[in-house]
Structure 1
Amino acid sequence: MQPDCTCPVCGSSVTEIPVTILPERGMVVANGRFANLTGHEMLILQRLAEVFPRVLSKEAALEWMYQFNPDEEPEIKIIDVYVCKVRKKLAPIGVRIDTLWGKGYALAISSKPQIVSEAA
């Protein structure tokens, strides 16, 4: 459960603050804490956030991550490696990625995360 807080703009009570993803900074903010992710880790998390609450298959994740690098031929197992790394970094801030066996991965959070792009 996320802590209660007050909105600094309107003064109303806010009980649920969505997970916020800052891709350009490689940062995720949740529950008043943050985690830093590498480029590939951020790509996985960003895609999970975009398809939330649906499941992201390993094949779709692999295609998404390497669409701009057609010369690379990564193995499907690399997705498991990146998900494992992201899980370890997100656990301390209270964000979980669930495995749905035979289907893929999904974010286990209560509301759609915000993706904040800083690009102009």
Structure 2
Amino acid sequence: MMVIFHGTGEKLRRDILHTAWIGIGFQYADAVQDFSSLLYRDPDALGILHCHLPDMVAQIVRGIRLGNVKNRLLVTFPEVADIEKASKLRGDVLFAGADDVQPATIDEREVVARLKALQRRGDYVDHIRIALPGAVFVSTRCQIETKDGRSLRVYPKASAILVELARRPGEVRTKQQIMDALYGGEDEPEIKVIDVLVCKLRQKIMEATGGLDVIQCVWGRGYQFVPEGFRPERKAGRRRWAI
């Protein structure tokens, strides 16, 4: 789990935030622009934004989202004594695009737990439509819609795998990377479940595309998304496709 941390508007409480969080493997960005750039280049990374000036947080988050940064984002800022003002500030930050807002005094273990929770929520997939040969996958409905009007339902976890692979066309994703995207390190089943889900997913895709597939198995490495599609080869001596 790659996490990028940025603190702004203060000298940083390095004894609590900077030292502790960097100490458990978080990468630190010195400026908002660098923070946004690192997140944009790594869609898998989670971001922690800490701002000492609560009134500026929503504006900063809004600017990050306007830069087309879609990574999951945890925001922290010092506790505000006025309960109503604190509630309004948290609401403003969430509306601006943050995925979670917590006080800066948050415990290190809770930080990790919340980041894992954000990871389990998945990415911004409510609008994703993935083009397949002669069909389209609609993430909101977890189904493949064909040009001849058919709709094929895809199991939610298999749908999440398709989204994970399609976000990086041609890039090989290992089974462990796929597992992390699906379960975020919590209550994970045996890793062989990825093979089972991918097999079922490929069968649905081939049914929708007239025999073409878009999920390529890279032996010993993992799986990759092939946008233009391909026709699987038969395994020697068997009466089934090599899926």
**What TM-score results when the alignment is normalised by the length of structure 1?**
0.66
Report the CA distance between 1:47 and its aligned residue. Answer: 0.6
Over the matched positions of the two proteins, sequence identity in percent amounts to: 29
How much does 1:107 deviate?
2.2
In 2 relative to 1, CA 77–35 (structure 1 residues): closer, same or farther, beyond 3 Å? same
Secondary structure at the counterpart of residue 92 of structure 1: helix
Runs of at least 4 residues of structure 1 off by over 3 A? 29-34
The reply to whether residue 110 of structure 1 matches residue 228 of structure 2 is: yes
User: Which of these residues, 152, 156, 159, is aligned with residue 39 of structure 1?
Assistant: 156
1:23 aligns with 2:150: no
1: CA distance between counterparts of 2:152 and 2:168? Answer: 21
Please show how residues 33-112 of structure 1 align to structure 2 within 5 Å.
34-67=151-184, 70=186, 72-94=187-209, 95-96=212-213, 97-110=215-228
The CA RMSD over aligned residues, in Å, is: 2.0
Structure having the higher helix fraction is: 2
Q: How far 1:48 sits from its partner (Å)?
A: 1.0
Deviates more, 1:74-83 or 1:27-36: 27-36
| Aligned equivalents of 2:171, 2:147: Cα separation in 1 | 23
Quick one: which amino acid aligns to residue 66 of structure 1?
Y
Q: With CA pairs under 8 Å and 6+ residues apart, which has the higher RCO, 1 or 2?
A: 1
Q: In the TM superposition, what is the alpha-carbon distance from 1:108 to its structure 2 partner?
A: 2.8
**Contact 1:31–1:93 (Cα < 8 Å) also in 2:** no
The CA distance in 2 between the partners of 1:51 and 1:41, in whole Å, is 16
Specify every segment of 5 or more residues in structure 2 that has no aligned partner in the other structure, as ranges.
1-130, 230-243
Query: Alpha carbons of 1:58 and 1:30: their partners in 2 closer, same or farther (altered >3 Å)?
Result: farther
Q: How many residues align?
A: 92
Q: Distance in 1 between matches of 2:196 and 2:223?
A: 13
SS at match of 1:98: strand
**Counterpart contact for 1:40–1:82, Cα < 8 Å:** yes
Residues 168 and 225 in structure 2, CA contact (< 8 A), matched pair in contact too? no
Query: Which amino acid in the other structure matches residue 110 of structure 1?
Result: E
Q: TM-score, normalised by structure 2?
A: 0.35
Distance 1:66 1:25, change over 3 A: same
CA–CA distance in 2 between the matches of 1:101 and 1:65?
A: 21
Query: What CA distance in whole angstroms lies between the structure 2 residues aligned with 1:89 and 1:102?
Result: 24
